[in-house]
Structure 1
Amino acid sequence: MATADPFDSALDLLRRLNPKHTSAHLNALINLAPDLTEDLLSSVDQPLAVRRCRQTGRDYLLCDYNRDGDSYRSPWSNEFDPPLQDGGAGPNGGGGGGGDEDENAAGLPSEKVRKMEIKANEAFDLYRELYYEGGVSSVYFWNLDDGFAGVVLLKKVATPGASGEGTWDSIHVFEAIDRARLTQYNLTSTVILSLATNANPALGELDLSGNMTRQVEIELAAENDEQQIANIGRLVEDMELKMRNLLQEVYFGKAKDVVGDLRSVGSLSENARDREAQKDLIGSMRR
């Protein structure tokens, strides 16, 4: 009998636990199996944490792609917090690849890619304000041997109130690979959504949490850096629109149908009387 792989077993367990508490479950698994720490952190999407940049005073998002050990790089200042002691190894602790060797050795993008990163952060900061009317956004780029890669992060937390709360996290990881006259974009997008409400005491509390992942590959013309950023922005915008529509029409619609069939505000006797009255009305119209 083959022995189960501990990493696969950990992923299977996480898929079966409440996605609202993914971070707590992940920390518990890391405590149980410390040797799986890097693999789990790089493979499991979890709600994004927010930190304030010490140099600029602006909030930014933390993820595995701007992490080096216990330090995280701010997209606004390009500095790690806390500062690195002896240099890092790039995104995921594994090196940036290509570009300036000194910058990549410190976990930083090359000068050219950093300039694109700055412009992308400005563009998605505007996108965040227009689409989400609040929240936090962060964009991180790094070098590849045949192009560059990056991640676009967006987070919006609904202000907790007496009736409910909600959190939206979207993570868009992409590769931009240079071809002869086109650039190939490989985009993987994940949305983590958590909603909770107790607005109607008669129905009780509702807690709806989950995540969705979609992928797309496409080739587009990109003659300069500005066009690269425009292409990435268009891909992320289209993917978010599709995923929002799927969540609203499929997942929320299905949940509404299930809850509507299982639970009712009125009593069963009242519902039975309403159905009888409806039958009588239809019968009288047919006479």
Structure 2
Amino acid sequence: MSYDAKFDASLDLLRRLDPQRVSSHLTDICTIVNDDELSQDLLSSVDVPLKVLRCPKTSKDFLCCDYNRDGDSYRSPWSNIYVSADGTAESSNQNDEDDEAPPFPSNILRQLEVNANDAFDVYRDLYYEGSGVSSVYLWDTEDDETLDAFAGVVLFQKQTDDGSGRWDSVHVFEVTAEDSSSASYKVTSSVILDMSKSALSLSGSLTRQLEASQSLTAGVNVETSHLINLGQLIEKSEYNLRNLLQDVYFDKLKDVVMKDLRSDVNAGAEHERQSEVIKGLQAL
């Protein structure tokens, strides 16, 4: 079987398995295929629930995904150090030129990453009612240390207080300068909704892509312009995904419950039906 056939078959299988156990299913498939390249492509292509670690240096929570992972460790956006799964700090040498050293963003991109984390933390506070966790990670797509081309991911997670529901959103983006006054943005957004522990069991995900050419704000530095444009696009993507989830899940659920399982009738008609039922019972 060719590489593409194995990749497509793996994705097809994952679509048919229980979405609540996508992480364990993905691990099992990677073990079965026993191919490092294919496993890496699957890990970067399949959305799994986000994990939370605490940065030992700043004592702030951050989200873990394939984009800030190096082996079994994850880079904290707050301190720029790698943290193992047990919460201990590992590597923090950004200037290490060893081939085995974990990846870090360039200096100029790291500064933008710091500002982006602060900005989207404010976004999280506004749109997620002051709770949840957010993280932003950036990486270079060219060798020169400029902001002409780079990529990144914006992550959000919120859980209900009783643990019955969770929302994970992942926004992977690419930025490419068109000229000195504009840039193109490509944002691929995914939302994972899990309400499996609530009275209504519901779990699944949606992915959508958004592309736009945006002007860089006059009188504002390039870094701030990128943050403004990315913030507007991610806000739009999350709004669209939220409405899609409502249409796909909740409106469909309403149709099933109200039309197929329980008809939606007005109070007068309901009273007449109750009277008919009572008369029928009295006639027994």
- With normalisation by structure 1, the TM-score equals 0.79
**Correspondences of 1:238-277 after superposition (within 5 Å):** 238-264=236-262, 274=271, 276=273
2:203 counterpart of 1:209: yes
Could you tell me whether the CA contact under 8 Å between 1:138 and 1:153 is conserved in 2? Answer: yes
Could you tell me whether the CA contact under 8 Å between 2:176 and 2:185 is conserved in 1? Answer: yes
User: Which residue of 2 is the match for residue 182 of structure 1?
Assistant: 182
User: Which residue of 2 is the match for residue 234 of structure 1?
Assistant: 232
Residue by residue over 1:63-85, the C-alpha shift from the partner in whole angstroms, topping out at 9 and shown as x without a partner, is 01001122210000001123667
User: Which residue of 1 is the match for residue 132 of structure 2?
Assistant: 135
**Correspondences of 1:140-159 after superposition (within 5 Å):** 140-145=137-142, 146-159=148-161
Q: CA RMSD in A?
A: 3.2
Residue by residue over 1:179-233, the C-alpha shift from the partner in whole angstroms, topping out at 9 and shown as x without a partner, is 12311000000000011466xxxxxx42111111111111112251111111111
User: Which residue of 1 is the match for residue 52 of structure 2?
Assistant: 50
Q: Which moved more, 1:79-88 or 1:45-54?
A: 79-88
Residue by residue over 1:61-109, the C-alpha shift from the partner in whole angstroms, topping out at 9 and shown as x without a partner, is 0001001122210000001123667989xxxxxxxxxxx9949964111
Of 52, 58, 61 in structure 2, the residue corresponding to residue 59 of structure 1 is 61
Matched letter for residue 77 of structure 2: P
The 3-state SS of whatever aligns with 1:233 is helix
* Percent pairwise identity: 47
User: Which residue of 2 is the match for residue 224 of structure 1?
Assistant: 222
- How many angstroms does 1:274 deviate by? 4.8
- How many angstroms does 1:30 deviate by? 2.0
1-structure distance, mates of 2:128, 2:121: 10
1-structure distance, mates of 2:90, 2:241: 37
2-structure distance, mates of 1:81, 1:278: 67
Give ranges in structure 2 of 5+ residues lacking alignment: 143-147, 264-268, 277-284
Distance change (3 Å), C-alpha of 1:248 and 1:278:
farther
Matched letter for residue 60 of structure 1: F
Matched letter for residue 135 of structure 1: G
Q: Which moved more, 1:137-146 or 1:44-53?
A: 137-146
Matched letter for residue 175 of structure 2: A
- How many angstroms does 1:160 deviate by? 2.4
- How many angstroms does 1:275 deviate by? 5.9
- How many angstroms does 1:144 deviate by? 1.6
**Correspondences of 1:25-40 after superposition (within 5 Å):** 25-35=25-35, 36-40=38-42
User: Which residue of 2 is the match for residue 9 of structure 1?
Assistant: 9
- How many angstroms does 1:263 deviate by? 3.7
2-structure distance, mates of 1:185, 1:101: 31
2-structure distance, mates of 1:225, 1:2: 43
Could you tell me whether the CA contact under 8 Å between 2:81 and 2:91 is conserved in 1? Answer: no
Distance change (3 Å), C-alpha of 1:79 and 1:10:
same
User: Which residue of 2 is the match for residue 112 of structure 1?
Assistant: 108
Distance change (3 Å), C-alpha of 1:129 and 1:84:
same
2-structure distance, mates of 1:32, 1:160: 36
2-structure distance, mates of 1:86, 1:197: 38
1-structure distance, mates of 2:108, 2:92: 24
Distance change (3 Å), C-alpha of 1:219 and 1:206:
same
- With normalisation by structure 2, the TM-score equals 0.80
Distance change (3 Å), C-alpha of 1:278 and 1:211:
farther
The aligned length equals 255
- How many angstroms does 1:159 deviate by? 2.1
2-structure distance, mates of 1:30, 1:3: 13
2-structure distance, mates of 1:86, 1:140: 16
